[in-house]
Each structure stands twice: as structure tokens, then as C-alpha cells.
Amino acid sequence: MPVITEKPLTSPARLALVVSRFNEEITSKLLAGAEQRLEAYAGTEATVVWVPGAIEIPLLAQRLAKSGNYDAIIALGAVIRGETSHYDYVCQQVSDGCQKVALDSNIPVIFGVLTTDDEVQALARVGGNHGHKGVEAVDVAFAMISVLRQLI
């Protein structure tokens, strides 16, 4: 039985990072970690697109996917729970939207959007005691590109 798992890429990859400006103190750290990790993948081209908030991420991801210029798209954002149910709607729409783009386009859309109860939890995920989700998103993107290339 053949086993397909991620392997080092034999050709360069093209990535797009869609980053939310809302909660920019957090999202800029997500982006910095992603950019730092991209340096480990020689030959990688990455385009960064800033959007006003997390809710705008899926539309830009869809446009980028339709361009045919990218092997994967990484969504970076931070949605922090407030006093209203707005948090629940935003999280669900962004998650569903990114999933739809991935399934419709056959391009990985990596969900690097933090959904936390407070800013302390968010900071713990951008280099704190819960790792760095920007770094992890890049690694997941390359793993998915590798696996998908083997299936073509």
C-alpha cells in the first residue's frame, strides 16, 4: 500500500498571505513569524495582502486562488472574543469562507486565524508558550503543497 506524506519540494512554491489589519498588534506578529519561516524554504515567492478585518479574508483568498498564481494561501488574523455574539459570527464566517475557497479552488487555504478569548491567549500563540501559529501555518502550507503535488 503506497503511503503519501510530505516530502521536501523539488521545485519552488508560490504562496500568498492574506493578513487582517484588525488586531494588528497580533497579526503583525503572525506575519513576522510566517515571513521568518519562509526564509527556510529557498526559492519561495510570497505575496502579502492586507485586508481591513478577518471577515474580508475569504474574498481575497478566493481572488488569489482564482488567479492561478499560487500553490497555497495562508490566512492570518486574530479574532478576540468581546462582550457580544459578534465574535461567533465572525469566526464561523471566516472559517467557512476559507474552507469553501480551498474546496472550490483545490488550493490549500491554511487557517492561521487566531480565535481566542482574550489578548493574553492570542499573544501566547505568536511566540509565547503556545508556539507560533504564523510559523506553523507556513509549515502546514508546504506540507499540503508537497502532498498535493504527489497526487497529481
Catalytic residue positions? 86
Q: Are 31 and 63 in contact (CB under 8 A)?
A: no
**8, three cell numbers:** 521536501
As a three-state string, the secondary structure of 66-84 is HHCCCCEEEEEEEEECCCC
Bridge partners of residue 49, in order along the sequence? 18
Residue in 141, 121, 98 with CA at minimum distance from that of residue 149:
141
**Which residues fall within 8 angstroms of residue 20, CB to CB, at 6 or more apart?**
27, 50, 51, 52, 53, 54, 56, 57, 76, 77, 78, 113
Separation CA 65–CA 93 (nearest Å) = 18
